[in-house]
Copies of this chain bind each other. A is one copy, B any other.
Amino acid sequence: MSPNTSSAAALKRAHAACAARGLAFTPIRQRVLQLLLEHEKGLKAYDLLALIKAEQPGATPPTVYRALDFLTEHHLAHKIERNATFVACTQAGHATPSLFLVCPQCGAVTELQDKSVMQALCRSLAAAGHRLDDPEVEIAAICPDCRAS
């Protein structure tokens, strides 16, 4: 499957998800998601803004932040807090909580699903009286490519 194909498929899924939930998947929102899908390592808000501006000169920070708010709110994209970057969500429905492995060298983000780890985590939290809130956990981990070098 070429990157292009999977990106198109993801966009289609997003379309369907919005339709099903009565959400307005407007051109700006689509375009932002598409750009995120095309950039596997994620994009910073202002890089995204620059890309959008090339097509739509009137774009300003709120233009992209609003789209990003929409996408993250509806789980079509994630914000990597560590780097202030945004990535498209690659897991279809990502019903289960995700681990995000962020490579501190190159910035690559890998979305990992590991039920047993998450369970262990939740048990540990519960023992401390806490309750997991945001099921998106970021972890700094050297990626295989950077490990090699």
Which chain A residues have a beta carbon within 8 Å of chain B's beta carbons?
A: 81-82, 99, 101, 103-104, 110, 112, 114, 116-117, 120-121, 124-125, 128-134, 136-144, 147
Contacts and interface: CB of A to CB of B under 8 A. Distances in A.
Nearest to A125: B141
Contact of A147 (B116, B121, B131): B131
Given A81-B82, A82-B81, A117-B120, A132 B141 contact: yes
A144 B129 CA distance: 5
Q: How many copies does the complex hold?
A: 2
Task: Determine the main DSSP class of A at the interface with B.
Answer: mixed
Contacts of A139: 121, 125, 132, 134, 137
B130 A141 contact: yes
A141 B112 CA distance: 19
B117 A130 contact: no
Given A112-B124, A120-B120, A147 B129 contact: yes
Nearest to A84: B81
Given A140-B133, A141-B131, A99 B112 contact: no
Contacts of A112: 124-125, 128
Contacts of A82: 81
A53 to B, nearest CB: 26
Nearest to A137: B139
Nearest to A119: B120
A116 B99 CA distance: 17
